[in-house]
Amino acid sequence: MTTAFRAIAEDCTKGSDEERLTFPDVLGKLAAVGVERYHADLQRAEKTYYLADGTSEIVTTQPIAEPAATAFDAAGIEAAVRASQSGTIKYKEFCVRILKAGCVAYIVSLAGRRAVYYGRTGETHVELFPQ
């Protein structure tokens, strides 16, 4: 595990929480140190970043007070993604909206160029990165 990997993981987490880094900014920084994917657990308030060799780093995030809805609403998650992409909302509001839509966590695959949002009983919504 490299110091650079840990530092970038912490900076990306804090930058998202502080809303000073956009999703494309985060992806660029993570790619620069070889991050393959990361998992954001909204209920545990942590992100786990993975390199291709399996090395990982867990970073605590700012907790969000919104409980995850019981029912999974893929359309609500998609609407939150579109609002984020357009700059209408920032990261904290994005997290609140996807929690209200029943998302408990999401995985971002830099290698697969997609994000997978999932709910309490395994329902998923997949978003491909814009071209």
CATH 3.90.1150.10 fits 3-128, yes or no: no
Q: Are strands 103-109 and 35-41 parallel, antiparallel or unpaired?
A: antiparallel
Q: What's the pLDDT score for residue 122?
A: 96
Q: What ranges do the domains of the chain cover?
A: 3-128
Can you tell me the mean pLDDT for 35-63? 97
pLDDT at 131: 79
Residue 19 pLDDT: 95
Q: How confident is the model at residue 1 (pLDDT cuts 50, 70, 90)?
A: very low
Q: Where are the alpha helices (DSSP H) in 33-112?
A: 74-86, 91-100
Give tens-digit pLDDT for 70-89. Answer: 999 999 999 999 999 999 99
Separation CA 43–CA 66 (nearest Å) = 9
Q: Are 32 and 89 in contact (CB under 8 A)?
A: no
